[in-house]
């Protein structure tokens, strides 16, 4: 086995040297930049993540600058990537690095794990890529490669699967070159061992791949059935009074905490009519008379275990709303996009208000 591993490691590195995509985070071993790139790449594909990475690196040259930024500024730069809790966690982690480690990411896996939003994957990536420590990374690409390479049918999205594949990744790790090895595994999954139609003919490790040899690639990786999603219905109210509208800052611990959206009525599991929502919002915000101008089409937003279905109801008011009493922000419609917005509101704004 050990002998096979050594050959696989060598072939992987040779392939990676010749085929890797040229990305700015591959030209550095600055832990701050590795951390930024890894968190962004958990959210999106490399091509879409690149402009975000560049925006962050250009605006905040180091982790101290990142920690000193306003959270709203960070959320604004993050806009479009979704899961804003990641951006908020990054801000908290930057503070921890400054306060606990004098502005230098620790060269220690366990210490990295203590940082907010840094899980096993990110800690391994920073430890191996920035500091050359022998920790294997296991992202979705690596899970897929390992599942096929070993024809292992443990579901990759199960707790058991995470253990099994982490163990396989760690035992295959090249301890001499952990950074290149980890990046090679991820790159192989992204470019060759793709989810559909993998390019096995070009794969540097195809002679060792059990699924390829047995012609059973389409059986791997195995995923256990998904948990059913909860459907949330939102009726957003886009009020208009003398050229202004009203927005609110999301409070609490939800995924949109700190972002801005319109006043709304929300239902879980069952939709009610816009008329019922109108009555409710009129009562809640003491609006009195208003004219409904337009009810939008449905806007859908899919999260891991939730589907949000929103409609936007445009209304003209006859008197202003008491912003202080209801914690609202009065803003010109044209300026909404200056605020940090959930993707759903941004989509609506681009389509119907710009
Ligand atoms: S041979 Fe095919 S299935 Fe096996 S690791 Fe390579 S690309 Fe993936």
pLDDT, tens digit (0-9, with 9 covering 90-100), for 36-77: 999 999 888 899 999 999 999 999 999 999 999 999 899 999
Helix ranges, 239-290 (H): 274-284
Q: How much distance in Å is there from the Cα of 130 to the middle of ligand 1?
A: 28
Q: How much distance in Å is there from the Cα of 202 to the middle of ligand 1?
A: 9
**Residue extents of the structural domains in the chain:** 2-219, 230-353
Q: Which residue(s) pair with 312 in the sheet?
A: 236
Q: How much distance in Å is there from the Cα of 207 to the middle of ligand 1?
A: 9
What is the percent of the chain where pLDDT is above 90? 78
pLDDT value of residue 247: 95
- Number of alpha helices (DSSP H) and beta strands (DSSP E) in the chain: 16, 8
Task: Say how far apart CA 31 and CA 127 lie, in whole Å.
Answer: 8
Q: Say if ligand 1 is within 6 A of residue 172 CB.
A: no
Decide if pLDDT at 284 tops 70. yes
For the residues of 87-135, what is the DSSP string, one character each? HHHHHHHHHHHHHHHTTS--S-HHHHHTSTT--HHHHHHIIIIIH----
pLDDT value of residue 331: 94
Predicted confidence band at 254 (pLDDT cuts at 50, 70, 90)? Answer: confident
Q: With beta carbons less than 8 A apart as the criterion, state whether 323 and 244 touch.
A: no
Task: Say how far apart CA 174 and CA 172 lie, in whole Å.
Answer: 7
DSSP 8-class letter at 137: -
Q: How much distance in Å is there from the Cα of 17 to the middle of ligand 1?
A: 18
Cα-based torsion angle of the residue sequence 200, 204, 210, 215 in order, rounded to the nearest 10 degrees: 20
Would you identify the CATH topology of the domain 2-219?
Endonuclease III; domain 1 (1.10.340)
Q: Say if ligand 1 is within 6 A of residue 145 CB.
A: yes
pTM strictly above 0.85: no
Q: Say if ligand 1 is within 6 A of residue 142 CB.
A: no
Selection from 83, 1, 129, 143 nearest residue 342 by Cα? 83
Residue 252, phi then psi, degrees to nearest 5: 80, -160
**Per-chain mean pLDDT for the chain:** 93
Write the residue with the smallest CA distance to atom 2 of ligand 1.
200
| Element at 183 (helix H, strand E) | helix 178-191
Q: How much distance in Å is there from the Cα of 199 to the middle of ligand 1?
A: 7
pLDDT digits (tens, 9 = 90+) for 147-173: 999 999 999 999 899 999 999 999 999
Q: Say if ligand 1 is within 6 A of residue 188 CB.
A: no
pLDDT digits (tens, 9 = 90+) for 312-343: 999 999 999 999 999 999 999 889 988 889 88
Decide if pLDDT at 196 tops 80. yes
What is the CATH class of 230-353?
A: alpha beta
Q: With beta carbons less than 8 A apart as the criterion, state whether 240 and 321 touch.
A: no
Ligand 1 atom closest to Cα of 209? 4
For the residues of 69-80, what is the DSSP string, one character each? S-HHHHHHHHTT
pLDDT value of residue 1: 62
Q: Say if ligand 1 is within 6 A of residue 148 CB.
A: yes
Query: Is 266 one of the catalytic residues?
Result: no
Provide the residue count of the chain.
354
Write the residue with the smallest CA distance to atom 1 of ligand 1.
206
Residue keyed to tokens 């979704």 = 82
The number of C-alpha atoms within 13 Å of 141 and in the hemisphere containing its C-beta is: 21
pLDDT value of residue 351: 82
Q: Say if ligand 1 is within 6 A of residue 11 CB.
A: no
Best probe residue, ligand 1, of 8, 200, 214, 219 (max atoms within 8 Å of C-beta): 200
Task: Say how far apart CA 293 and CA 291 lie, in whole Å.
Answer: 6
pLDDT digits (tens, 9 = 90+) for 79-117: 888 888 899 999 999 999 999 999 999 999 999 999 999
pLDDT value of residue 352: 82
Mean pLDDT of 216-230: 88
Q: Say if ligand 1 is within 6 A of residue 144 CB.
A: no
Residues 6 or more apart whose Cβ sits within 8 Å of residue 24: 33, 37, 50, 53, 54, 57
User: Measured in Å, how far apart are the chain's first and last C-alpha atoms?
Assistant: 61
Rg of the chain taking only CA atoms, in angstroms: 24
């Amino acid at each position: 086995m050990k002998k096979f591993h050594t050959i696989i490691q060598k072939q992987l590195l040779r392939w990676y040297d010749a085929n890797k995509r040229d990305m700015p985070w591959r030209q550095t071993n600055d832990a701050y930049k590795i951390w930024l790139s890894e968190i962004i790449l958990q959210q999106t594909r490399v091509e879409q993540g690149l402009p975000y990475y560049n925006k962050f690196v250009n605006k905040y040259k180091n982790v101290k600058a990142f920690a000193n930024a306003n959270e709203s500024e960070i959320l604004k730069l993050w806009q479009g990537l979704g899961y804003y809790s990641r951006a908020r966690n990054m801000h908290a982690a930057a503070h921890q690095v400054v306060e606990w480690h004098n502005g230098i990411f620790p060269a220690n896996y366990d210490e990295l794990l203590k940082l907010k939003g840094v899980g096993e994957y990110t800690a391994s990536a920073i430890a191996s890529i920035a500091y050359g420590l022998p920790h294997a990374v296991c992202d979705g690409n690596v899970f897929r490669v390992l599942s096929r390479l070993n024809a292992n049918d443990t579901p990759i999205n199960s707790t058991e699967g995470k253990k099994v594949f982490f163990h396989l990744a760690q035992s295959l790790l090249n301890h001499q070159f952990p950074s290149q090895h980890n990046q090679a595994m991820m790159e192989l999954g992204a470019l060759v061992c793709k989810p559909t139609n993998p390019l096995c003919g070009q794969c540097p490790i195809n002679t060792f791949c059990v699924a390829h040899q047995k012609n059973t690639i389409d059986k791997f990786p195995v995923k256990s059935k998904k948990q059913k999603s909860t459907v949330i219905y939102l009726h957003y109210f886009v009020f208009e009074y003398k050229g202004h509208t009203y927005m609110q800052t999301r409070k609490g611990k939800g995924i949109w905490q700190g972002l801005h959206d319109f006043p709304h009525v929300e239902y879980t599991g069952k939709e009610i009519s816009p008329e019922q929502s109108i009555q409710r919002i009129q009562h809640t915000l003491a609006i009195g008379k208003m004219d409904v101008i337009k009810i939008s089409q449905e806007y859908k937003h899919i999260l891991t275990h939730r589907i949000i279905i929103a409609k936007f109801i445009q209304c003209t008011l006859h008197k202003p709303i008491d912003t202080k009493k209801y914690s609202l922000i009065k803003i010109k419609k044209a300026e909404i996009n200056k605020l940090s917005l959930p993707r759903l509101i941004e989509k609506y704004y681009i389509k119907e208000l710009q």
